[in-house]
Amino acid sequence: MSELAIPPNVGHESLAAEPAARTARAGRRRKLRFGLSMRVLVLNTAFVMIAATMIYVPAISIYRSYWLHNRLSAAYTAALVLEAAPSAMTPPELSRQLLDSVGARVIVLNMKGTKRILASSDLPPAVDAVYDLRTQSLGDVPLEAIETLFAPSGRVITVLGAAPMGGDAVAITMDEAPLKRGMEAYSRRLLIMTLVMSAIVAILATIAINIMVLRPVRRLTDNITEFGADPENAARIIEPSGSEHEIGQAEAALAVMQESLVRELNQKKHLAALGLAVAKINHDMRNMLSSAQLLSDRLANVTDPLAQRIAPKLVATLDRAIRFCQATMTYGRAVDEPPKPRRFLLRPLVEEAIESVGPLAAGHIEFVNDAPERLEVCADPEQMFRVLVNLLRNGVEALQSAGSAPGWPAEIRIAARERLGPYDGRPAGGPAAKGATGAPAGRAETIIEVSDSGPGVPDSARAKLFAAFFTADRAGGTGLGLVIASDLVRAHGGSLTLAPPATASAAEPPGAKFIITLPLHPAASEATASSRFENAPL
């Protein structure tokens, strides 16, 4: 079988000439084929031999029974000949011929109380064993057969059987040697037949198992190895055979897994390239922004009242942009710095975000800041500003591209409140228990809702909304805004979700509503940045 596995034209030299990986693969394949095929062959042969052994004892017992019954029939015929003889005296020549034809030394026929004896001149001194076939039980048959096989040679036995036609019994005394020889010859024939049969069955079974099991398994293994060597190559994804059996199902499952792996890896490559590009852009952008900041500083000296009003905002915005570029460059990748939470009033930050996005709306959209005057949040203000700006920009873009829902003015609303979340096992009187609500132990959260009166997010887009690069026909959109916002909120130990669509009867507009949930007191462990870029679903 091992020869089957090694192509005859592949010598050691040509193997050595191949790349190392391929040689190793070929070696592993040879070993695999040899091992499994040979094992299957040996096992099959062993099983057939066991089956043959199990039928051997009954077969040889039946052979012996037939043999003895044949002799008894022949003896009976001989006895009939005796009956037909004209006188009680049988010629010695006829007696000898009759005994020879039966292969017996003595024949006794017991008929209606009368015994007829036919004996040869060389009577045995003693009989070694007597077998009465009339009283033989089923269990005696194989035992007597085995006894005959292993008996010492030269035994003389007497066999008794039923006499037909009203006779009581026929008994023959004979040498056991011819019976023994017959049984041994029969055993030899049986052994040869068994060997031939087991070889044929084992080869057929091995071929079948090779085709049905080993070959598909080998194909799977080879594919896994080849795919593992180049997991980004979609051409190496296994092509499922479409079979319904377990290996076919394994192939289909492997294909699905490989497809998603290829996608993930290509996505990661894409993101790595993007990260590099962002780092480069950041570098140059920071330089340009620094120049712009120098120029804007000079605006502060202009006496024009408009310039006086705009200059500080311009300087602050440029400052923020430069800090962001700097932070990204420090990390060298598109991963945000861990947040530095502190308590601050939310309302002014929302106001700042609205001012930043306001010019985009060109006065066509009303921004409503519903954050309570005194509501404080504990977060990184820089990062929360970026989250709010991303959500507000999305609202503006949605309203500009599709307009507001019928019967609703174009409006973006930011509302906020504190709520006591479900009990989270923190000890009563701990930080969460002392939330602004003064409620008993439980996890207090700040909820910030950014809603608009635009078209809302279609059901088909909901599942992929927070996946990197998902954007719905939005010119200039990169599909990263929500991923960035969600990453930043998660780094605070919070979450960014899209509320279910409002019902038609609700008092709220049917547009999109994004909900930011922030813990009132973010735990240190929760404030660890972990970018969704690294595991964003596709």
**Cβ neighbour number for residue 109 with a 10 Å cutoff:** 23
Q: Which residue has the tokens 């024009």?
A: 304
Could you tell me how many residues of this chain bind ligand ATP (CB under 6 A)? 22
Q: Between 50 and 360, whose beta carbon lies closer to ligand ATP? A: 360
- The partner in contact with residue 452, picked from Mg ion, ligand ATP, none with C-beta cut-offs of 5 to 8 angstroms by kind, is ligand ATP
Q: Which two tokens stand for residue 30?
A: 């040879």
Q: Smallest gap, in angstroms, from Cβ of residue 493 to ligand ATP?
A: 22
Q: Between 156 and 354, whose beta carbon lies closer to Mg ion? A: 354
- The partner in contact with residue 480, picked from Mg ion, ligand ATP, none with C-beta cut-offs of 5 to 8 angstroms by kind, is ligand ATP
Q: Between 75 and 482, whose beta carbon lies closer to ligand ATP? A: 482
3-state secondary structure of 410: coil
Q: Between 13 and 473, whose beta carbon lies closer to Mg ion? A: 473
**Cβ neighbour number for residue 33 with a 10 Å cutoff:** 19
Query: Of 525, 517, 535, nearest to 387 (Cα)?
Result: 517
Q: Smallest gap, in angstroms, from Cβ of residue 391 to Mg ion?
A: 8
- The partner in contact with residue 435, picked from Mg ion, ligand ATP, none with C-beta cut-offs of 5 to 8 angstroms by kind, is none
Could you tell me if 485 and 386 are in contact, meaning their C-beta atoms sit under 8 angstroms apart? yes
- The partner in contact with residue 395, picked from ligand ATP, Mg ion, none with C-beta cut-offs of 5 to 8 angstroms by kind, is ligand ATP
Q: How many CA atoms lie within 13 A of 430 on its CB side?
A: 15
Please report, as residue ranges, which positions from 248 to 267 form the binding site for ligand ATP (by CB under 6 A). Answer: none
Q: Between 441 and 480, whose beta carbon lies closer to ligand ATP? A: 480
Q: Between 163 and 357, whose beta carbon lies closer to Mg ion? A: 357
Please report, as residue ranges, which positions from 328 to 357 form the binding site for ligand ATP (by CB under 6 A). Answer: none
State the binding string over 468-487 for Mg ion (x if CB under 5 A, else -).
-------------x------
Sign of dihedral through CA atoms 312, 318, 321, 323? negative
Query: Of 336, 320, 319, 321, nearest to 282 (Cα)?
Result: 321
Question: Which residue's CB atom is positioned nearest to Mg ion?
Answer: 481
Q: How many CA atoms lie within 13 A of 99 on its CB side?
A: 23
Please report, as residue ranges, which positions from 442 to 501 form the binding site for ligand ATP (by CB under 6 A). Answer: 452, 454, 456-457, 461, 465, 470-472, 474, 477-483
3-state secondary structure of 159: strand
Q: Smallest gap, in angstroms, from Cβ of residue 477 to Mg ion?
A: 6
State the binding string over 500-529 for ligand ATP (x if CB under 6 A, else -).
------------x-----------------
- The partner in contact with residue 136, picked from Mg ion, ligand ATP, none with C-beta cut-offs of 5 to 8 angstroms by kind, is none
326 binds ligand ATP (CB under 6 A): no
Q: Between 155 and 393, whose beta carbon lies closer to ligand ATP? A: 393
Q: Smallest gap, in angstroms, from Cβ of residue 390 to Mg ion?
A: 6
Q: How many CA atoms lie within 13 A of 506 on its CB side?
A: 10
Q: Between 391 and 432, whose beta carbon lies closer to ligand ATP? A: 391
Q: Between 139 and 458, whose beta carbon lies closer to ligand ATP? A: 458
**Cβ neighbour number for residue 148 with a 10 Å cutoff:** 22
Secondary structure (DSSP) of 91-157: PHHHHHHHHHHHT-SEEEEEETTEEEEEE-SS--S--SEEEETTS--TTHHHHHHHHHHHSPTT-EE
Secondary structure (DSSP) of 309-349: HHHHHHHHHHHHHHHHHHHHHHHSSS-PPPP--EEEEHHHH
Please report, as residue ranges, which positions from 379 to 408 form the binding site for Mg ion (by CB under 5 A). Answer: 394
Name the residue type at position 107.
I
Q: Smallest gap, in angstroms, from Cβ of residue 478 to Mg ion?
A: 8
Q: Between 394 and 486, whose beta carbon lies closer to Mg ion? A: 394
Q: Between 6 and 472, whose beta carbon lies closer to Mg ion? A: 472
Q: How far apart are CA 438 and CA 432, in angstroms?
A: 9
Q: Smallest gap, in angstroms, from Cβ of residue 397 to Mg ion?
A: 7
- The partner in contact with residue 512, picked from Mg ion, ligand ATP, none with C-beta cut-offs of 5 to 8 angstroms by kind, is ligand ATP
Q: How far apart are CA 161 and CA 141, in angstroms?
A: 14
Q: How far apart are CA 61 and CA 50, in angstroms?
A: 18
- The partner in contact with residue 472, picked from ligand ATP, Mg ion, none with C-beta cut-offs of 5 to 8 angstroms by kind, is ligand ATP
Could you tell me if 514 and 497 are in contact, meaning their C-beta atoms sit under 8 angstroms apart? yes
- Residue choice 107, 398, 414, 488 for contact with ligand ATP (CB under 6 A): 398
3-state secondary structure of 367: strand
Q: How far apart are CA 374 and CA 344, in angstroms?
A: 10
- The partner in contact with residue 474, picked from Mg ion, ligand ATP, none with C-beta cut-offs of 5 to 8 angstroms by kind, is ligand ATP
Q: Smallest gap, in angstroms, from Cβ of residue 389 to ligand ATP?
A: 10
Q: How far apart are CA 391 and CA 497, in angstroms?
A: 11
Buried b (16+ CB within 10 A) or exposed e, 376-402: bbbbbbbbbbbbbbbbbbbbbbbbeee
Q: Between 131 and 466, whose beta carbon lies closer to ligand ATP? A: 466
- Which residues form the interface with Mg ion (CB under 5 A)? 394, 481
Query: Which chain residues interact with ligand ATP by CB under 6 A?
Result: 390, 394-395, 398, 452, 454, 456-457, 461, 465, 470-472, 474, 477-483, 512
